[in-house]
Amino acid sequence: MRTRAMKPFLCLVACTALLSGACQRPTTNETGKSAAEESRNRPIAGILGAKPSQAVSAPQAAAGPRVTGGNAPVRRVLDPPFKSTEVARFNQPWAMVFLPDGRLLVTEKQGRLRLIDVASGAIGEISGVPAVAYGGQGGFGDVVLHPQFASNRLVYLSYAEQGSGGMRGAAVARAALNLEPGSNNGSLSGLQVIWRQVPKVGGENHYSHRIAFDRNGKLFISSGERQQFAPAQDMQSNLGKIVRLNADGSIPTDNPFHSQGGVAAQVWTLGHRNVLGLAFDAQGRLWEHEMGPMGGDELNLIERGSNYGWPIVSNGDNYDGSVIPDHPTRPEFNAPEAWWTPVIAPAGFIIYSGDLFPFFRGNGFIGGLASQALIRIEFNGVQGHEARRYPMGQRIREVEQGPDGAIWLLEDGSSARLLKLTPNYG
């Protein structure tokens, strides 16, 4: 476990990769964009990870032209290294996942599950989705496939649900996906809720509800602290936690707090704020990013049983201007591998493993809401830092890797574009 004593070095690494002003206290929030942040969205000189001080041409002379992989000829990679193609538009999309046949499931926040043939652009709808509590940051959330989807047709969905007395909370359900032959329509059957946030609370923010399966078929769910602060440290609540379950929703006996029983038995890690990205690397390590308050967005390596410190410490401050102690003041908490001030407002996360961008293999990609950018992360074992920021001109809600290795983005909001990123060669 890395302690907060390492933060000065990590801040230096993160800030070196950003533009000027990155380590000042912010004047923005999760949905806004400050003048300082605007200045950080200018294109950085160079290509594929060059720091701002490295005004190099593309490709770098010392490295020579990039090899595209396999028997393909050597080709020059331009800057930016991808071109963007609009494929379709959606109304407030939140997440997406590819089916084995190459079609794409997309959730829309107001409660629709869409199916698009990305080759033709034809869009249909999947019926039988659960009712969602729409409003604020709440609504339809993530969608992922069971690791054995080809044989069991199970999909997993997260969403905000209504409780009694105006209370709300996130839930995760699974159901069988039934597709209609010859169309992009279908239905869900046998819907079963397998997890809920406890307790339901007031408000409409910080649900998190990202979902990911590990290589052993265990289900990880991010559970935001619902802007309630204290529950992130309370083991009688699963708010502000990352939980680990079996695929059917039962609790693995090797969870770190299993002996405590109750909701504590679900908990894998605690002390989180609003986790909107989960991704496993090639070595099976789980990484997450989460929104800080006014500053202090984080990239974390998730380690069994660790406490990540919210709301006791943060590299940001409260929106009312009150100071939160920085990470080094409490070295017992697990440290972020990188952090951002001003915020990037991270959403969506992949760790690239495809062949279409061989020079990106093993890199992470984070969508930026307030930063309106695609942020590339370089990893070095258990460390990570921002290597490059690609301005996209719109808030980026979701990132996914396609079957052919293309990178796919969903913009945020109404009439949001689905974009396909492919290599940009000279």
What pLDDT was estimated at residue 72? 63
Mean pLDDT of the 344-370 span: 97
pLDDT tens figures, 198-236: 999 999 999 999 999 999 999 999 999 999 999 999 999
The single-letter code of the amino acid at 12 is L
Question: CB within 8 A of 321, min separation 6: which ones?
Answer: 294
Question: CB within 8 A of 288, min separation 6: which ones?
Answer: 210, 222, 242, 272, 275, 277, 278, 279, 299, 300, 302, 349
What pLDDT was estimated at residue 23? 38
pLDDT tens figures, 174-196: 999 999 999 999 999 999 999 99
Phi, psi of 166 (to 5 degrees): 80, 5
DSSP 294: B
CA distances from 241 to 229, 236, 294 (A): 12, 11, 20
Contact at 8 Å (CB) between 210 and 223?
no
For residue 110, give the nearest of 135, 87, 128, 86 by alpha carbon: 135
Mean predicted lDDT score pLDDT of the chain: 87
What pLDDT was estimated at residue 75? 77
What pLDDT was estimated at residue 70? 58
What pLDDT was estimated at residue 76? 85
Least confidently predicted of 73-87, 111-125, 237-251:
73-87
What pLDDT was estimated at residue 32? 44
Domain ranges for the chain? 4-425
Using the predicted structure, report yes or no on whether residue 40 has a pLDDT greater than 70: no
* Catalytic residue IDs: 206
Fold of the CATH domain 4-425: Neuraminidase (2.120.10)
Mean pLDDT of the 94-106 span: 98
Residue 166, burial from CB neighbour count under 10 angstroms (0-12, 13-18, 19+): exposed
Instruction: Quote the percentage of the chain above a pLDDT of 70.
Output: 83
pLDDT tens figures, 379-422: 999 999 999 999 999 999 999 999 999 999 999 999 999 999 99
Least confidently predicted of 47-51, 111-115, 272-276:
47-51
What residue has token string 């279409």? 356
